[in-house]
Amino acid sequence: MEMIHAKLLEMLLICSLVICLAAAGLWDFQAGRIPNRWLAFWYAAGAGYFVCSGWLAAAGYLVRCAAAAGLFFLFFLCRMIGAGDIKCMALICGYLGFASGFRVIGIGMIIGAVWSFAKLIHGNLFWERMSRLTAYVRQVFHEKKLIRYYVPERDGREVTLPLAFCLFWGLAVFVFFRILIEMWMKG
């Protein structure tokens, strides 16, 4: 009975994350940003879930969220990803733990990379963006400091992707394969 209760709570947590990322992904896709109040609600829901599981679980949740946000903050400083994307990644790690969280983020990044590559090829922007990337890398090494990679006035909006949307699909792929593996293990 205890195992069924734990499995049900885990499923509730994953369903909550799916709802959170689905809406965040749609906001990111349509508006290019994710409302802070939406993410704050899901951070609070996660905190409530883990507090009910115990104070140690709640502390682990907070540490995972903070560590993931700190890790990905460097990409925000360079303007490679948005603040909402970092908050989504931190929430994923907070809810799922580092191992599963990084898998979800990795799958989402792969989806984003394929989508980005297709956009660059379709828009005949590939070589322009590659030359801009090499110029950026040279400038960072030459100046020995972090600088902004993406400047909207210079680069335009056609080169951006809704990363939260990709993270949602990363979670969907992760959950799908997790269910397949569990079914395979049972028989």
Instruction: Summarize pLDDT for 67-96 with one digit per residue, the tens.
Output: 999 999 988 887 789 999 999 999 999 999
146: CB partners within 8 A, 6+ apart: 74, 77, 78, 140
Residue 98 has pLDDT above 80, yes or no: yes
Residue 19: which pLDDT band, with cuts at 50, 70 and 90? Answer: very high
How far is residue 185 from each of residues 44, 59, 115, 180, 182, measured CA to CA in Å? 34, 32, 33, 9, 5
For residue 1, name the pLDDT band (cuts at 50, 70, 90): low
Which structure tokens are listed for 8? 């049900």
For 36-62, the pLDDT digits (tens) are 999 999 999 999 999 988 999 999 999
Condensed to tens digits (0 to 9), the pLDDT of residues 126-153 reads 888 888 889 888 988 888 887 777 777 7
User: How far is 162 from 153, CA to CA, in rounded Å?
Assistant: 18
Instruction: Give how far the C-alpha of residue 78 lies from the chain's centroid of Cα atoms, to the nearest Å.
Output: 17
Nearest to 137 by CA among 127, 149, 155: 149
pTM of the model: 0.87
Could you give phi then psi for residue 141, rounded to 5 degrees?
A: -70, -35
Measured CA to CA in angstroms, residue 21 lies from 68, 96, 102, 174, 183 at distances of 16, 13, 15, 13, 25
Average pLDDT over residues 3-23: 88
Highest mean pLDDT among 27-41, 69-83, 156-170: 27-41
Closest of 146, 122, 108 to residue 28, by C-alpha: 108
